[in-house]
A and B are shown apart, each in its own frame.
Chain A
Amino acid sequence: MSPAKERPLRIVVAKPGLDGHDRGAKIIARALRDAGFEVIYTGLHQTPEMIVAAAIQEDADAIGLSIMSGAHMTLFPAVVELLGEKDAKDVVVFGGGIIPQDDVPKLKEKGVAEVFLPGSPTQGIIDWIRANIRPRVAA
């Protein structure tokens, strides 16, 4: 890594799909902000297109997706694919929510970097981000 002081990571926390359960997303957004990251929360009911547009516009390093509706197998990979189409493959996608254990390897195969299951402490997510995400090099 460059010896120069790194800028803080910019993370888009997003709620894809129609479910309105934003308790987790808001807690994560706040915990990440308190941990020193720059956090943009999209608000509810976002399509993958809206999420990717927000990430590009905000020059985000990562996208954290929160979902409770069971639509993760459709919507998470859609976000990863759209990033590829927009030349933003290096934006790291991670997520969490009500996701069955055996969907996790399938999501990882489709390019989701990490999936946090119910009961994950926010500190674990913060530690994972620090260990795995670096600021993107300006294109």
Chain B
Amino acid sequence: MAKAAKDLGQKAPTHRKDTPSAPTRAEHPTFAREELQRILAERESWTQGELSEVLGKLAHRRARFETDSGIPIPDVLDPASVRETDYLRDVGYPGRYPFTRGPQATMYRGRLWTMRQFAGFGSPEDTNGRFKYLLQHGVNGLSTAFDMPALMGYDADHPMSRGEVGKEGVAISTLRDFELLFDGIPLGDVTTSMTINATAVIALAMYVAVAEKQGVPRAKLGGTLQNDMLKEYIAQKEWMIPPAPAVKVNCDVIEFCAREMPRWNPVSISGYHIREAGATAVQELAFTLADGIEYVQECVDRGLDVDAFAQRLSFFWDVHNDFFEEVAKFRAARRIWARTMKERFGAKKKESLLLRTHAQTAGVSLTAQQPYNNVVRTALQAFAAVLGGTQSLHTNSLDETYALPTEEAVTIALRTQQIIAHESGVDRVVDPLAGSHYVEWLTDEMERRALEHIRRIDEMGGMLRAVEEGYPQREIAESAYRYQRDIEAGERIIVGVNAFKTEGEEPIPILKIDETVARGQVERLREVKASRDAARAAAALGAVERAAREGTNVVPPVIDAVKAYATLGEISDVFRKVHGTYREDGRF
């Protein structure tokens, strides 16, 4: 262990003025020197004694033990393992800087996390029905999945939309679709999350327009727009225009919301997709925070006061299988973000330093084989997210390796959260894993490794440049390939896939979306175009184009355009005309 600690010391990044580095300290200030020496002596004696005695008879099951990110795990962790941690400086108290233990003082004793199940499929009417079902069954926030054409900026009748309409989310082409999507749902009372990025500004505009029709002013709207393009180029890959102008539009939304929508989270800086694409937990942590740094820098560069917008930045983590590493990731993320906002950006308001986050269990960890096992995987991941102190959570359904979830499967997923919240006892205590030698050590270790990546990205000139050069994309592809190789070599066991297999499994019921949805959507689009004031729509599109060309904030003209029933595809075409399109090379 002493050796491991020394290795860590060597790996610690050199201190830079702009990026806070993990603190190093030779001794734990909360342990007296003599106490530490007694612990180290005892550890040495145990290593020579019990440990080597047992290892002499029975070797470890593996040559080395490591976390899913590849962090080597020592034989035992003890107070000396975390001697460089200063409790008050690095861990502290919930709701107090650096927020390692949580963004609020009371956490779930005050309010449970928001159970927010992502939903969206078929027509707006289909999804509206699912929303109402979820609200009846106890979700307290909506979360909207859009179909691929909507995410990429194509109307339902575009040739690129062939076969895709309503398949992976709800189909949206015009404001009329949004009116049907939220029909009968009081937007002043629910909060709504919208997972949309390249065309996020259009979705926000439509939401604002529908709320106005319900008599709810935009200032009263609560919710979250994902609006994070950097991770699209890195991982999810639904884009419309090249990275630099796309980031500019993201920041237009942040700026607009800072001014006019004080309850709205204008961006959800997302690690989820980065992880799902194959990143390790450390890479997810680092790349996501580096994305956040880039957005803050862009907003500051355009003259915004950091304390005017930072409190509405929100995050979104994946929760994968390695239980303790996931818990540590949440804790390390809050600490790094708080220090970055304070030291690098000079934020002064406490709220600007808080990392508030949504989380989702890892879709990529679900297996098509023995699908009921996915309920267990999801429960463990959800429990890790709660121990990590998430503010909001989506639990995946057991059937999601095949298709969008059925109502039955979604209900089990929601019940999983309710059991954790109301039966497990985890809601009664704040950050119960604090002080665990392993969890504190791992939190420090992940912080150190993430800061190393962030430093490298800073040296490249920031995340936008790193993305343009393909750095995070390459790193992720490499990790994904290694993960797959480990599974195929049997070095990583996936129950039901490469071990404990069952022959002749019964298929489970799945949800299918047929082509009648596409026909209905195309029909409605035609009606909207025929009945709108064509001159008003054209003029509104002209205003969007002027704003895009002149570099002024595009949000207000996009709101006017959707109100004039300009379509999502038409507005996207304006952006593509001004900024061009984006293609990734075929490297693999």
Contacts and interface: CB of A to CB of B under 8 A. Distances in A.
Contacts of B510: 100
Interface stretch (A81-89, A107-115, A117-125, A131-139): A117-125
A58 to B, nearest CB: 11
Given A18-B238, A27-B484, A70 B403 contact: yes
Interface in B378-421: 401-404
Contacts of A31: 484
A19 B148 CA distance: 6
Contact of B480 (A17, A23, A78, A118): A23
Given A19-B168, A123-B488, A74 B162 contact: yes
B368 interface: yes
A6 B373 CA distance: 45
B539 interface: no
B481 A100 contact: no
B480 A27 contact: yes
Interface in B468-485: 477, 480-481, 484
Interface in B51-85: none
* Interface of B, helix, strand, loop or mixed by DSSP: loop
Interface stretch (B326-334, B349-357, B559-567, B578-586): B578-586
Given A42-B586, A45-B152, A100-B402, A23 B168 contact: no
A70 B166 CA distance: 9
B481 A30 contact: yes
A36 interface: no
Interface in B111-161: 148-149, 151-152, 154, 159-161
Nearest to B164: A71
Which one of B277, B484, B515 has the greatest number of beta carbons of chain A within 10 Å?
B484
Contact of A100 (B152, B512, B515, B588): B512
A37 interface: no
Contacts of A40: 586
Contacts of B368: 117-119
B78 to A, nearest CB: 39
Interface string A59-75: 00000000011111111
Nearest to B369: A119
Contacts of A121: 487-488, 498
Interface string A12-31: 01000111111101110111
18 contacts: A18-B151, A20-B236, A21-B236, A22-B237, A22-B277, A25-B588, A26-B477, A26-B588, A42-B586, A44-B237, A45-B152, A47-B160, A47-B162, A70-B168, A71-B162, A98-B402, A99-B402, A118-B401
Given A20-B239, A23-B364, A71-B148, 13 more contacts: A18-B152, A19-B168, A26-B480, A68-B168, A69-B148, A73-B163, A74-B515, A100-B512, A118-B368, A118-B401, A119-B367, A121-B488, A122-B484
Interface of B: 148-149, 151-152, 154, 159-164, 167-168, 232, 236-239, 276-278, 364, 367-369, 401-404, 477, 480-481, 484, 487-488, 494, 497-498, 507, 510, 512-513, 515, 583-588
